[in-house]
Chain A
Amino acid sequence: MHHAFLDRYAYLESFVHKLDPRMKLIAFFLLLLSIVLHDVLYPRLFIIYAAMISVLLFISRIPLSFILRKARSISLISVLIALPLPFFTAGEKLFSVSLPGGFALSISRPGMVLFLNVLGKSFLSILLLILLFNSTKFPDLLKAFERLKVPAVMVLILNFFYRYIFVLIDDMERMLVAMKSRGPRMGKFALFKTLGAILGNLFLRSFERAERVYMAMQARNFNGKMHTLQSFSISGGDLAFFFCVLLAITGVRFI
């Protein structure tokens, strides 16, 4: 069963895709850190970072529509949180509107600055993360985590998650189809109760499957320690990229 919500563009062939996952992770994280650590993200800085990210996006060959769609859905909530900022931050007022009832709605300069700062930073970082995670195959990402000393147990749990999420989604879809096939529309409560039953069922199945998987692991002599054979290698291209990123984030500080 193929599921497009994961790994959809991770199998493309581009320079970004082919970067060593560990280097990619560190480089992107440093770039992210660089953006977030600016106290004030001046417009010229924003443009420079946006340019850098655009170049990377272009090289990655991931469709722009896909990226923007993802960015849009996340950004909506971010905008909502940030919305009060121009109106409720003290400082020099940029413009004011009187409302009936004696209230005055005003936008302040510091408020606007903060608003744009916060939105700018979060938008750039969202783009960066979209690029990072959609150009890396999930198993490779996990292997990179392991190599970067993320606790082994956590990485293993993520591995199992990845392996079984599709199985569970298939199970769930089958149950939902069976439910829909039961004929005429159910009342609200019946629908909710059935969804609850489907999920309850899914829980029990997941639990029982975990038992069976554990038995299968024991049958192959599992004794608590999981081994991995990792096969990454760092190429000249990886090092060059990393160096460029380091250069960029230091250079930007002098502008």
Chain B
Amino acid sequence: MNEVIKVTDLSFEYPDGTRALNAFSMTIFKGETVGIIGPNGAGKSTLLLHLNGIHGLDDQVPPSVRIEGIPVTRRNIAEIRKKVGIVFQDPDDQLFTPTVFDDVAFGPLNEGMRKEEIPKIVRASLKKVGMEACINRTSHHLSFGEKKKISLATILSCSPSILILDEPTGNLDPHSRREFISLIKSLELTILIATHDLELVLELCHRVLIINRGQNIASGDSRTALSNGPLMEENGLEIPLSLRT
């Protein structure tokens, strides 16, 4: 199965009438790291929430999202959420238990993993993000950068095959940002990154996808797309500094 994410003609309207997605389509292939960029309000976050079934679980409409071939429906939701892990923007939204251990253990516990196995998984996930020392700390004592890394650990402990990151480098200081980038580079998963950080996209993503007004405007090689002045301007973006000659 090479097409790990397939979105076909996805449309979505919020209860107050705003149309967030307009016949959006995209295909993501196994092992890719793809950047999703676009102006604020383009529909990035809404799109991401469809990929693990938080939005769009409407049983009447034929499912427009398939993860590794499996349609995202209410029946398959547990399986889908095992495969897809989303790290949200605000780590305070993701670290909702009193201790770091409890947070990283949350996912595996809900997936029915045996209680004896949990401490091992927790330690391994924290090791991957370099935060094992914090295993018994309380979340609110940590710095923003530390919380971000632990948020990632809480998803890695679920062993997803697809990792989705929403603004991973927002508000990070340069050192933490660098650490986070190396972390992502070390992961061998299919990765989707929704971000404003265009330099990040250049560094990590083979491919980039531009979303605007709920539609898939363009997708292609990162360097090429990001150097395209008119394309960038039209979509509320600009050519990143490193590409300007």
Co-complex (A, B): yes
Q: List residues of chain A with CB under 8 Å of any chain B CB.
A: 1-2, 138-139, 142, 159-160, 162-164, 166-167, 209, 212-213, 215-223, 227-229
Most B CB contacts (10 A, CB to CB) among A164, A215, A219, A222 go to A219
Once bound together, how far apart are the Cα atoms of A159 and B106, in whole Å?
14
Q: Which of A163, A221, A228 is B81 in contact with, Cβ under 8 Å?
A: A221
Contact check, B86 vs A219: say whether CB atoms are below 8 A apart.
Answer: yes
CB distance from A169 to the nearest CB of B (A): 10
Known: A142-B98, A163-B98, A212-B90. A221 touches B111 (CB 8 A): yes
Cβ–Cβ < 8 Å partners of A138 in chain B: 98
CB distance from B166 to the nearest CB of A (A): 11
Residue B99 at the chain A interface, CB threshold 8 Å: yes
CB distance from A187 to the nearest CB of B (A): 35
The closest CB in chain B to the CB of A208 belongs to: B93
Known: A163-B140, A219-B54, A219-B155. 8 other contacts (CB 8 A): A162-B98, A163-B98, A164-B92, A212-B90, A218-B81, A219-B52, A222-B106, A223-B110
Contact check, B107 vs A221: say whether CB atoms are below 8 A apart.
Answer: yes
CB distance from B202 to the nearest CB of A (A): 28
Known: A139-B99, A163-B98. A220 touches B140 (CB 8 A): no
Once bound together, how far apart are the Cα atoms of A164 and B94, in whole Å?
11
Residue B175 at the chain A interface, CB threshold 8 Å: no
Q: Which of A139, A160, A209, A221 is B93 in contact with, Cβ under 8 Å?
A: A209
Contact check, B118 vs A229: say whether CB atoms are below 8 A apart.
Answer: yes
Known: A2-B141, A212-B90, A216-B88. A221 touches B110 (CB 8 A): yes
Contact check, A216 vs B96: say whether CB atoms are below 8 A apart.
Answer: yes
The tally of CB-CB contacts under 8 A between chains A and B is 78
Once bound together, how far apart are the Cα atoms of A218 and B51, in whole Å?
12
Once bound together, how far apart are the Cα atoms of A219 and B93, in whole Å?
12
Most A CB contacts (10 A, CB to CB) among B98, B118, B141 go to B98
Q: List 29 A-B contacts (CB under 8 A).
A: A1-B140, A2-B141, A139-B98, A139-B99, A139-B138, A164-B92, A166-B140, A167-B140, A209-B92, A212-B88, A212-B93, A213-B93, A215-B49, A215-B88, A216-B94, A217-B96, A217-B106, A218-B54, A219-B81, A220-B81, A220-B110, A220-B154, A220-B155, A220-B158, A221-B81, A221-B107, A221-B110, A227-B110, A229-B105
Once bound together, how far apart are the Cα atoms of A222 and B96, in whole Å?
12
Contact check, A221 vs B158: say whether CB atoms are below 8 A apart.
Answer: yes
Contact check, B110 vs A222: say whether CB atoms are below 8 A apart.
Answer: yes
Residue B215 at the chain A interface, CB threshold 8 Å: no
CB distance from B236 to the nearest CB of A (A): 24
Cβ–Cβ < 8 Å partners of B138 in chain A: 139
Cβ–Cβ < 8 Å partners of A160 in chain B: 96
Once bound together, how far apart are the Cα atoms of A166 and B118, in whole Å?
28
Cβ–Cβ < 8 Å partners of A220 in chain B: 81, 106-107, 110, 154-155, 158
The closest CB in chain A to the CB of B94 belongs to: A216
